[in-house]
Amino acid sequence: MYLAAILTLFFVGGVAALAVRTELYSPNREVTREITRDDGSKETVTEITGQLFNAGTVISKPVIDSEGRALATDGKPLEEEIVGPDGTVTRRTRPDAKPLVEKERVYTLASGNQTYNRLMTLHGAIMVFMVIVPSIPASLGNFFLPIMIGAKDVAFPRLNLLSWWIYVAGSIFAVVSVIAGGVDTGWTFYTPYSTMTDADHWRVVFMIAGAFILGFSSILTGLNFIVTVHKLRAPGMGWFDMPLFVWALYATAIIQVLATPVIGITLLLLIFERLFHVGIFDPRMGGDPVLFQHFFWFYSHPVVYVMIIPGMGIASELIGVHAHKKLFGYRSMAYAVLGIAAVSFIVWGHHMFTAQGELAAAVFSAVTFLVAIPTAVKMFNWIGTLYKGSIQLNTPMLYALSFLFLFAIGGLTGLPLATLSTDMHLHDSYFVVAHFHYVMMGGTIIAFIGGIHHWWPKMFGRMYNEKVGILGCLLVFVGFNVTFFTQFFLGTRGMPRRYASYVDEFQLLHQISTIGSYILAIGMLVHLLNFVYSLFNGPKAPPNPWGGLTLEWTTESPPIEHNFHHEPLVTHGPYDFDDVVPPHRSPEEFPLPEKPADAH
């Protein structure tokens, strides 16, 4: 259920992103033309046009006095009366007079900047709160965490079901806000704008309430995972016998439980501010909008790792299984995810370098670089695992390699943003947009898609078309890089984010980025069609198509109710490919390496 809901919302958020990129294909332009009204009068009209959204029509109307006479720019009547020799009176426009006009903007249903801001809010809120945060833990995590540690189910199945219905309720609140017209606050709901925007009062409240409710689902999922890992591991499975995907979900759960209550309280205060004007964040009433940013980012930076750490766990599984090699530095990989989780709580201030004092900015800049240490450990160990591995270049492995490449770019481009001197220039530019997407989509979503391909045969008992999967992966990889790598150049040249229009010098790069988004969308569509075809016509999947050693590959595809016929006994590590033949596979398919003879 989670997987279907998340993929559906991913489609909605993706459509919003495509609409935004299509609008940005070229800057909005003013087009002046003369139109004829129904009464025969002619008026000059200036239309501000974009690719999708018409920002409105500017109509020039003559200014008239109380007697209905058109006025000139000097305040006198535009026309003068001339009496002829025979006493007839004629009217003519004064030769030196210019008509006095007033301009009136008539907005259409899709009015440019406002529609752009609403679509940006829709894209951000759906992708962050309803897709990326729950994507791996709630869908793949709920399915595979119990089975990978030899449990029948999570520790609290009913609590798990409750978290699903809370997720549905929160999503409904947000979707109702969108259907009613949407909000233009941005997904961060920054004050004071979110407390005073002219958007419909209840739409803003509903969107914020939706994010507030979704937080409870995240907390319950985290609690369930922590108890499951502590109490339900199979006999013989110690802490360092767990797959790294389980370690990643465990570290993620700790962050969810500790950080999510902060954003819950913050959003609740924002709702009170919006409804009752209590003056917590509104500077007009003595509130502090920077306080909201501190509360928001104290949660929202750790939640970045709620998104990316599960992706790291999937990458570890993909590389270990499809390189068919024992993971290099297993223990350091496990400690690294715990280190990332710990450091994530002390680096929120780097989102606010331009809104705080010099000392605080310097401290936050220094501690932000600490995140690079455990992250570099993981990157080094992944590459070390690939070295001399028996690599299978199938769809999951291609996504693992894509993850390494894209996440490396995302991590390296984060260094200038952690540096005070460069962040002052790059802050709120398209450089940040590109960096964020290289980490969130190039990391989390790419790993998520790779994980779906990796575990699809186990979940649904059907194999997909491998050639079509590889084609989709290549399209996604190319489309993603064309879309977002160009945005690094936009940011360094000064293009600010969240603007519906721009100067002409940025047009070429925006056009390249938009074309890339279309390629990316085609790649996603290829995967969707491949999966749908696989569900109905794909060949039956064997229990262990990839030759993995973790416990999910010891069961049928799809697993039986309660996962196992008998409680499993763990006798080897999750990546001991040098010592164990994978279950349901023969030694001829996966021969063990020859061990050197003992010295005498």
What's the pLDDT score for residue 590?
Answer: 75
Q: Token pair 């416990």 is at which residue? A: 551
Over residues 179-192, the mean pLDDT reads 87
What's the pLDDT score for residue 109?
Answer: 39
Exposed, middle or buried: residue 122 (CB in 10 Å: 0-12, 13-18, 19+)? Answer: buried
What's the pLDDT score for residue 112?
Answer: 64
Cα(118)–Cα(122) distance, rounded to whole angstroms?
Answer: 6
Split at pLDDT 50, 70, 90, the class of 108 is very low
Dihedral angle at the C-alpha atoms of 352, 354, 360, 364, nearest 10 degrees? 50
Over residues 488-511, the mean pLDDT reads 90
Q: Left, alpha or beta for 428 (phi > 0: left; psi -120 to 50: alpha)?
A: left
* CATH number of the 2-17+109-537 domain: 1.20.210.10
What's the pLDDT score for residue 114?
Answer: 77
Q: Does position 111 have pLDDT exceeding 60, yes or no?
A: no
Cα(523)–Cα(472) distance, rounded to whole angstroms?
Answer: 5
Average pLDDT, the chain: 87
Cβ density class 425-455: b for 16+ within 10 Å, e for less: ebbebbbbbbbbbbbbbbbbbbbbbbbbbbb
Over residues 45-62, the mean pLDDT reads 59
Q: How far from 95 is each of 34, 80, 101, 117, CA to CA, in Å?
A: 22, 10, 17, 47
Split at pLDDT 50, 70, 90, the class of 598 is low
Range scoring the smallest mean pLDDT among 125-129, 358-362, 520-524: 358-362
With H, G, I as helix, E, B as strand and everything else as coil, classify residue 46. strand
Q: Does position 561 have pLDDT exceeding 90, yes or no?
A: no
What's the pLDDT score for residue 530?
Answer: 96
Which residues face 58 on adjacent strands? 46, 105
Up-side HSE of residue 124: CA atoms within 13 Å toward CB? Answer: 20
The two counts, helices (H) then strands (E), for the chain are 18, 6
Interhelix angle 466-492/446-460, rounded to 10 degrees, is 160
Cα(29)–Cα(13) distance, rounded to whole angstroms?
Answer: 27
Split at pLDDT 50, 70, 90, the class of 199 is low
Range scoring the smallest mean pLDDT among 104-108, 140-144, 467-471, 495-499: 104-108
Pull the structure tokens for residue 120: 């940006």
Pull the structure tokens for residue 477: 């990889």
Over residues 2-20, the mean pLDDT reads 88
Q: Does position 197 have pLDDT exceeding 80, yes or no?
A: no
Cα(278)–Cα(275) distance, rounded to whole angstroms?
Answer: 8
3-state secondary structure 271-314: HHHHHHCCCCCCHHHCCCHHHHHHHHHHHHHHHHHHHHHHHHHH
Work out whether the CA dihedral 521, 530, 450, 403 comes out positive or negative: negative
Q: For 41-184, where are the alpha helices, taking DSSP H only?
A: 112-125, 133-134, 142-148, 157-179
Q: Token pair 């309660």 is at which residue? A: 562
Is the separation of the CB atoms in 273 and 281 below 8 Å? Answer: yes
Dihedral angle at the C-alpha atoms of 18, 19, 21, 22, nearest 10 degrees? 110
What's the pLDDT score for residue 600?
Answer: 46
Q: Does position 586 have pLDDT exceeding 80, yes or no?
A: no
Highest mean pLDDT among 53-62, 174-183, 285-294, 404-413: 404-413
Over residues 103-119, the mean pLDDT reads 64
Is the separation of the CB atoms in 383 and 415 below 8 Å? Answer: no
Looking at residue 54, what DSSP letter applies?
A: E
Pick the more confident residue, 130 or 59. 130
Cα(596)–Cα(356) distance, rounded to whole angstroms?
Answer: 61
Pull the structure tokens for residue 532: 């749908």
**In degrees, to the nearest 5, what angle opens at C-alpha 401 toward C-alphas 378 and 480?**
110
Backbone angles phi, psi at 55, to 5 degrees: -70, -5
What's the pLDDT score for residue 333?
Answer: 95
Percent of the chain scoring above 90 in pLDDT: 57
**Proportion of the chain in helix, strand, coil states, percent, rounded to 5:** 60, 10, 30
Is the separation of the CB atoms in 328 and 381 below 8 Å? Answer: yes
Cα(26)–Cα(195) distance, rounded to whole angstroms?
Answer: 32
Q: Does position 290 have pLDDT exceeding 80, yes or no?
A: yes
What's the pLDDT score for residue 494?
Answer: 92
Neighbour tally for 332: CB within 10 Å: 14
Over residues 81-102, the mean pLDDT reads 72
Is the separation of the CB atoms in 99 and 77 below 8 Å? Answer: no
Q: Which amino acid is at 130?
A: M
Over residues 251-272, the mean pLDDT reads 94
Question: What are the tens digits of pLDDT across the range 439-494?
Answer: 999 999 999 999 999 999 999 999 999 999 999 999 999 999 999 999 999 999 99
Q: Does position 160 have pLDDT exceeding 80, yes or no?
A: yes
Question: What are the tens digits of pLDDT across the range 364-398?
Answer: 999 999 999 999 999 999 999 999 888 999 999 99
Q: For 461-506, where are the alpha helices, taking DSSP H only?
A: 466-492
Q: Left, alpha or beta for 286 (phi > 0: left; psi -120 to 50: alpha)?
A: left
How many residues would you count in the chain? 600
Question: What are the tens digits of pLDDT across the range 515-545?
Answer: 999 999 999 999 999 999 999 999 999 998 9
What's the pLDDT score for residue 110?
Answer: 44
Q: How far from 434 is each of 15, 364, 479, 518, 587, CA to CA, in Å?
A: 18, 22, 13, 17, 46
Q: Token pair 């500077």 is at which residue? A: 283
What's the pLDDT score for residue 29?
Answer: 62
- DSSP secondary structure string for all residues of 425-453: HHTTBHHHHHHHHHHIIIIIIHHHHHHHH
Highest mean pLDDT among 399-413, 548-562, 566-580: 399-413
Cα(584)–Cα(548) distance, rounded to whole angstroms?
Answer: 10
Pull the structure tokens for residue 113: 């900047």
Looking at residue 71, what DSSP letter applies?
A: B
Is the separation of the CB atoms in 209 and 295 below 8 Å? Answer: no
Pick the more confident residue, 347 or 587. 347
Work out whether the CA dihedral 446, 311, 397, 527 comes out positive or negative: negative
Q: Does position 404 have pLDDT exceeding 60, yes or no?
A: yes
Secondary structure element (H or E) that encloses residue 415, with its range: helix 395-418
Split at pLDDT 50, 70, 90, the class of 107 is very low
